[in-house]
Amino acid sequence: MVYLNISPLLINVLTGRSLEEIPASPNISDLPGSYVQLVAKNSKKIPSAFPSNIQPLVCKNCGKKAKYDLGHVTINVEKYKRDQTEEIDKYIQTTGYFRCKHCNSTGKWEITKEYRMMALSALLTFNSPLAEDRFTFGKNMLFDGSSHKYATDAEEYLLKKIMNSNEDSFLWNRLGNLYYKGGRADLAVAAFEYSVSIDPLQTESLFSLGMILSNIEPKEAANQYHRMLISAFKYTRMDASNLRDLLSNGLRDLFYLNSISNGEISVIPPMSLYQELQIEIPSSEDSSLNIIEGEVDSGNLESFYPIAEIFMGKRREELSGKKVYFVRKKKKRKKK
């Protein structure tokens, strides 16, 4: 059995079980989803969004001390200097998702001497090229402009929004992003899977599922990437340029999976998947890679742009005024 700290509220919202019947410290087996336990058992194979940043904290609820991965730390230096205080911990935000290892509570932490020294050391690198990758100076905000000190604060905020949203796949995607950036890919896939269960054409969640599964289950990852490509022409929650980049990253991974499987994994989605998702199969001209001139280069994301634009459908027209890579071979005129 895999034991990892999980919010009872998350299980409540995912499953509909009452909070009274959910354990105070739930187990990973309490989470629904096809990939949750698989990802939890193979977490070391999944690339992290940020480098590890382990620091000791004391839980104010139970008084016990433990080490936690803070993830990426953001310090609001300007406000710290403006307020002229020594309590620097009030101006720190962390991306790492952690709950007390002993009582599973969140949000109430006593800052240790080691933690404070870490923050003060980071301040010395302000406006310096020596600033570490694990520190940022400024303010972290969610997609809606709200700002939260800990990832668990942001989690509760998003879960409450979800509870009032009548199942919004986009909000579930944002919650999944929060978990992934927090170093909890297991929670992320639970959110992404639920997002896709609400909307099978949620392009961003499909991409994220493919990315997380890529080093664990290549065929499952390819299936999610194929769905991502098929869904792209209908997806409007990203601007066209960012959508093209998302698809290009997925395509780059698909070409890699195709290579390591000796061609067994296809880059292009199977026609049966279009039928399953009830999406009209594109014309043979649009669905063929033969119309692409040039070669893809894994080190150059833009080399995947022409293929990405094919799957964007009419959304590629929004790229006008920018550098458009979509190339269509001219049809040869028949001689009379």
Structural domain that includes position 184: 153-319
Instruction: Report the range out of 75-89, 101-115, 242-256 with the highest average pLDDT.
Output: 242-256
Q: What is the pLDDT of residues 7-27, one digit of tens each?
A: 999 999 999 999 999 999 999
pLDDT of residue 326 exceeding 80, the answer is no
Three-class DSSP labels, the chain: CCCCCCCHHHHHHHHCCCHHHCCCCCCHHHCCCCCHHHHHHCHHHCCCCCCCCEEEEEECCCCCEEEEECCCEEECHHHHHHHCCCCHHHHEEECCCCCCCCCCCCCCEEECHHHHHHHHHHHCCCCCCCCCCCEEECCCCCCCCCCCCCHHHHHHHHHHHHHCCCCCHHHHHHHHHHHHHCCCHHHHHHHHHHHHHHCCCCHHHHHHHHHHHCCCCHHHHHHHHHHHHHHHHHCCCCCHHHHHHHHHHHHHHHHHHHHHCCCCCCCCCCHHHHHHCCCCCCCCCCCCHHHCCCCCECCEHHHHHHHHHHHHHHHHHHHCCCCCCCCCCCCCCCCC
**158 and 306 fall within a common domain:** yes
Q: Which residues pair with 73 in a beta bridge?
A: 94, 135
- Report how far residue 216's alpha carbon sits from residue 42's, in angstroms, rounded to the nearest whole number: 7
Choose the final residue of a domain: 109, 140, 171. Answer: 140
- Report how far residue 153's alpha carbon sits from residue 97's, in angstroms, rounded to the nearest whole number: 10
Determine the pLDDT at residue 285.
47
Q: What is the pLDDT of residues 178-208, one digit of tens each?
A: 999 999 999 999 999 999 999 999 999 999 9
- Among 60, 62, 10, 52, residue whose Cα is nearest residue 31: 10
pLDDT of residue 220 exceeding 70, the answer is yes
- Determine, yes or no, domain membership for 334: no
- Determine, yes or no, domain membership for 162: yes
Tally of domains in the chain = 2
- Determine, yes or no, domain membership for 183: yes
- Report how far residue 306's alpha carbon sits from residue 195's, in angstroms, rounded to the nearest whole number: 28
**133 and 198 fall within a common domain:** no
Are the C-beta atoms of residues 336 and 315 closer than 8 Å to each other?
no
**55 and 109 fall within a common domain:** yes
When pLDDT is averaged across residues 136-153 and rounded to a whole number, the result is 94
Determine the pLDDT at residue 119.
83
Instruction: Report the range out of 55-59, 83-87, 203-207 with the highest average pLDDT.
Output: 203-207
> Considering the chain, what percentage of its residues have pLDDT values greater than 90?
73
- Determine, yes or no, domain membership for 329: no
When pLDDT is averaged across residues 319-334 and rounded to a whole number, the result is 57
**102 and 201 fall within a common domain:** no
Identify the residue with better confidence: 207 or 90.
Answer: 207
Determine the pLDDT at residue 223.
98
Lowest mean pLDDT among 77-81, 315-319, 324-328: 324-328
**How much is the mean pLDDT over the chain?**
89
**200 and 277 fall within a common domain:** yes
Identify the residue with better confidence: 64 or 77.
Answer: 64
Determine the pLDDT at residue 143.
95
Take residue 279 and report the two structure tokens written for it: 């999406």
